[in-house]
Structure 1
């Protein structure tokens, strides 16, 4: 494939394989993180957090603590991303940390790739797209939507996934531009809500925020707060998105930490101010009974311009789905390149320089998962599985500190941060089970363990399926893809 040219006319290969081109700038990196974090959460999670926390004051504290925990994890990932400058996020770090430690050292990385590729990331794309479809249908059909909503919601959700998939399959730069645009749109929506909130505060509408009443009814069961954290951390989910595309980031040793340090606090400040704005207009009881907090807030404050918020929520969810798909396609890409998934998933389009097949597989799974579900149950399921991987990854950071202290670390997190993060991870895994054992936690564990049925025959013992070479060759010709090679710094 030597000498093939990409869309910009630059060489599309290096060494023995095609490589991903570094097309993600600092601004695009910030937009990817912000655009992926700000999706449906800020318009859905306030209700769940308030329900579990019991009071306005404690719900705001949960939002702040979720921001601090996300920033702690992001700083740990800064070190990992600059120490192991490979795409794939947690997969690359788990393999580097535990791979050399014994015969089962690669198992954590495989189980991560297995869980994220087949369930977690595609499902997140589906859920965000379903929320997009819901707001589109409600905007078009209003009060009549309940009579026939499921079908059009699914259609709009599927349409959004397919549009996003085409953009990501065709061009990394195009996906980045889309992300930049919708990030600006969703930040404008948050700015409108925050501005209206300030106006409401100036008018003296702060009854529910006063210290005398804001903490009344706070939950006293410390384990109950774990579900509130799940709801809040869902809104902050994707603080690690840029780590999945490190090989496509310009100057990653500098831009990865800088993008995270800019993006995560920016989102945290916006979230806290938006929640304050909500409580200047909606009572705790009204918020708990609301199906769409942002829409109810707009209807109460913006009058004939209330349509702005549903429109921007659609922009927000579309941009979040784009960012999630952009990053999630890189997980099977890197895992396949390392031999943990079928080889074809690691192939890159010879002219578009996108991980074409892995993105296509993720898209297909996401489309198949367009099944209506309970938001709280899905968030609990994903959060439980996700925090297993987060805790394992940060423990890998400590392992690398011990096994390879000589490695250059362009960014080094204070040692207290991974320790705090690990303690928080253990709490988030144990507390929900103690507070209210639920079937979704069992399903999460069983699905992760089901990966062992594939790991031992195909990875550990190296069993090969004879027809796979023919299938790989056919798909390579069909999609015009070629093997990839690793691109470091």
Structure 2
């Protein structure tokens, strides 16, 4: 099955056009006022943009909100730094493995398209179903919550802001990012680059602030990192380590971002690996230095009790100017939200293009060349997730489901290396890398369940399997193929969109 798919990808593109697509194509010609012209997404992302989309998505809410959770799970400063380092190594190895997949299968869509080309339609649908309805919206909602908490923290000094206020601000952030991404791809890329510069400066400021704090008084950091105290109180179990790594990896979420937009990346065989190595190295180094800076002024107890670590750090180091850290954290999380939203819409777009979602979601605006229906759908699902979840539960839910499919994808790379070594590979990694990350993925999925089984994991599994209710009748047996034709044509006219072909 895979061999046929790869031949199609490597040699030519064969597109099966549904009946509603035929109507949409006529609209495309009419709207463009030209003879039949292929509508494709443009390659707008270069190396700088690629680095910005990876590191700009990774550096966001996590480094400002997850440190207290990581420390809370493992119990000691030394163990928390080990978790942050381990998370960075896992992210780097996973990203390099994905880079090889991205050069073999040079299509957008991330896990969905890789699983589709390697394992076929059924598992790919479950990946699309889960990522579109759970993983991406959960990630977007969690980032929006962190933006809101930091943005309104100065207005509620010394107490938790009301949940209603937090969620209203978070919803506004999601809508703002959705509008920017719907209007123009270049605008989204520029936002990502500008906010990356801002957040790197903010983290650098925290690092420098920590150095200054040490020169003034080294009591706290010496107490935190004395040999006898560094690992004192460490809580080690499969569940605590697994949940701590979940929180750590949440802060590295985004290492996979360019694989979702490969068709919009210039020279992906060159820029994809370069962007991955530069971005993750930069982020890992900054994260470790920032965590050390937090621990220069806060005891483990203070850090774990803080609802906004960067704000607490700012209040201690900057005094009355501590609110600046709230603004910096909110802006940082906004850039991360933009990158996650950009890639999330592409998963929905590619899944629809392959016939696994309604046709309307596979269309792009005829003038702006943005997948606006997919972006609008992603916005709506994200707002629903935002309304019903809180930050910590959303992160854990996101991590558990995401790593199931990361593991399946990495097993596909191992399969290709063993069974299809002749496939062209502009970039290669040793087979040991995906094996190590696959082991980590299995651990992250099974460890919390084995050590501390909770009913929520069963609910997640049942939700994923519930996709069969849609897949069997509508995708596999193709029942009611024209069910949404009228709605598709109406939405196409209303949104001024038409089917977009692959850009290979």
Taking structure 1 as the reference length, what is the TM-score of the superposition? 0.93
Aligned residue in 1 for 2:43: 22
| One of 79, 83, 99 as aligned partner of 2:100 | 79
Aligned residue in 1 for 2:166: 153
Aligned residue in 2 for 1:408: 424
Aligned residue in 2 for 1:370: 386
Post-superposition, which runs of at least 4 consecutive aligned residues in structure 1 deviate over 3 A?
1-5, 11-17, 140-146
| One of 67, 73, 81 as aligned partner of 1:60 | 81
1:130 equivalent to 2:151? Answer no
| One of 245, 248, 251 as aligned partner of 2:267 | 251
Aligned-partner SS, 1:348: strand
Indicate if the aligned counterparts of 2:403 and 2:445 stay in contact, CA closer than 8 A.
Answer: yes
CA distance in 2, matches of 1:356, 1:82: 27
Indicate if the aligned counterparts of 1:17 and 1:482 stay in contact, CA closer than 8 A.
Answer: no
Indicate if the aligned counterparts of 2:360 and 2:373 stay in contact, CA closer than 8 A.
Answer: yes
- TM-superposed CA distance for 1:465, in Å, is 4.5
Aligned-partner SS, 2:234: coil
CA distance in 2, matches of 1:420, 1:296: 37
1:237 equivalent to 2:278? Answer no
- TM-superposed CA distance for 1:15, in Å, is 8.2
Aligned residue in 2 for 1:8: none
**1:105-184 to 2 correspondence within 5 Å?**
106-143=121-158, 146=161, 149-184=162-197
**1:428-443 to 2 correspondence within 5 Å?**
428-443=444-459
User: Residues 309-367 of structure 1, C-alpha deviation per residue, up to 9 Å, x if partnerless?
Assistant: 10011101111111111110000100111111111111111110111110010011112
1:340 equivalent to 2:361? Answer no
The number of residue pairs the alignment matches comes to 475
Indicate if the aligned counterparts of 2:417 and 2:431 stay in contact, CA closer than 8 A.
Answer: no
1:202 equivalent to 2:215? Answer yes
Aligned residue in 2 for 1:394: 410
- TM-superposed CA distance for 1:14, in Å, is 12
User: Residues 247-276 of structure 1, C-alpha deviation per residue, up to 9 Å, x if partnerless?
Assistant: 001111100111011101111111110000
CA distance in 1, matches of 2:380, 2:502: 26
CA distance in 1, matches of 2:114, 2:240: 32
Aligned-partner SS, 2:386: coil
CA RMSD of aligned residues (A): 2.1
Aligned-partner SS, 1:302: helix
User: Residues 396-437 of structure 1, C-alpha deviation per residue, up to 9 Å, x if partnerless?
Assistant: 111222343221101111110011011111111111012211
Indicate if the aligned counterparts of 2:87 and 2:249 stay in contact, CA closer than 8 A.
Answer: yes
| One of 276, 290, 305 as aligned partner of 2:321 | 305
Indicate if the aligned counterparts of 1:16 and 1:485 stay in contact, CA closer than 8 A.
Answer: no
- TM-superposed CA distance for 1:382, in Å, is 1.2
Aligned residue in 1 for 2:202: 189
Distance 1:13 1:227, change over 3 A: farther
**1:449-460 to 2 correspondence within 5 Å?**
449-460=465-476
Distance 1:13 1:413, change over 3 A: farther
Structure 2 residue runs without a partner (length 5+) = 1-24
Structure 1 residue runs without a partner (length 5+) = 6-10, 100-105
Aligned residue in 2 for 1:260: 276
